[in-house]
Amino acid sequence: MVILRNPNTENEYKSRINRALDYIEANLEKQFTLDELASVANFSKFHFHRIFLALTGETPFQFILRLRLEKAASLLILNSVKGITEIAFEVGFMDVSVFSRNFKNYFHISATLYRNEKHEKSNLSQLESNRKQEGENSFIYLCSSSNTLKWRTDMKQNKSLEVKELPTMTVAYVRHTGPYKGDNKLFETLWGKICAWAGARGLMQQPNLQFLTVYHDDPNITIEDKLRMSVSITVPAETKVNGEIGKMEIEGGKYVVARFDIAANEFTDAWQWVYGQWFPVSGYQPGDGPCLEIYPEEPKDGRFIVDICVPVKPI
């Protein structure tokens, strides 16, 4: 067992392991080797395995297997057309029988039954009623000034919704693993850390600075103790980071960007609306990559202006 006693050493180790986690998440379809992952984290392969286990509670390959299975579970729910074999290959399994066996061991149900049961229980199973409801209360149009697809809706908190290209962003982040829903104090602490770090380096005055939270896992699939989220700010690509401040690149591409004006206790409702109401009638499905919250304004009087951003691709 690796015991980390020095806070500076522990933060440096966390930073290196986060690099390995980011690398795995961005290349999940690849076949990894221990040497490769140790190199990304800048550790000797003889110590990397034990350090990874000590800091995450999983071995590297337990983590990879869990991420692949959870991504597959998400795809099974959100894309009823794509075959199970295709999904297995997409998330990095080379053999569908190996995928099926591991999926059943992890979720205690076959992939086919999981898809059927989750679809019946989820908001997505209400496709027809949602289509009727949303057909009466929202419509799509092409914005000529920005040449993007936009929707008008009657949801009170939703101020705008469009599908558009987001640029690739380099962000510095502080990561949290574990429960976070409704924990305002946790978010205040994380924002305090990243802003203090950025302020000391003059990064709070950079033009076009953006504040965002990156959600790496689906809270409906991943257990709370394993949920990862990264409180982040955009930074120049050459920015140096160390300790508990990490750096990653968020890939650009087509996203649905839904702006909401909400109270602190309404974030879950906004996310559920995007997935349960908009996606089923949009002609899109969630694409690869993490989901984002971008905050274009500072909170005021207990209310938040937030852009919920989800990568999309056609069904």
- Among candidates 63, 70, 65, which has minimal Cα distance to 114? 70
Q: Residue 151: its pLDDT value, please?
A: 75
Q: Are 289 and 311 in contact (CB under 8 A)?
A: yes
Q: Residue 81: its pLDDT value, please?
A: 82
Domain ranges (residues) in the chain: 7-120, 164-314
Instruction: Give me the CATH topology for the region 164-314.
Output: Multidrug-efflux Transporter 1 Regulator Bmrr; Chain A (3.20.80)
pTM for this prediction? 0.84
Q: Residue 135: its pLDDT value, please?
A: 40
Q: Provide the pairing of β-strand 169-177 with 253-263.
A: unpaired
Q: Residue 88: its pLDDT value, please?
A: 96
Residue 96: exposure state from Cβ atoms within 10 A (0-12, 13-18, ≥19): middle
H runs (alpha helix) in 57-110: 60-78, 84-90, 96-107
- Architecture in CATH for domain 7-120: Orthogonal Bundle (1.10)
Angle, helix 45-56 to helix 60-78, in steps of 10 degrees: 60
What residues have CB less than 8 Å from 230, skipping those under 6 apart?
171, 173, 174, 175, 176, 213, 214, 216, 246, 248
Q: Residue 109: its pLDDT value, please?
A: 96
The predicted-structure confidence for 117-152, as pLDDT tens digits, reads as follows 887 766 544 444 444 444 435 555 555 455 567 777
Residue segments in the chain with a per-residue pLDDT below the cut of 70: 1-7, 121-148
- Alpha-carbon span 271 to 260, nearest angstrom: 10
Q: Residue 136: its pLDDT value, please?
A: 38
- Alpha-carbon span 69 to 86, nearest angstrom: 13
Please indicate whether the domains covering 7-120 and 164-314 agree at the CATH topology level.
no
Q: Residue 163: its pLDDT value, please?
A: 93
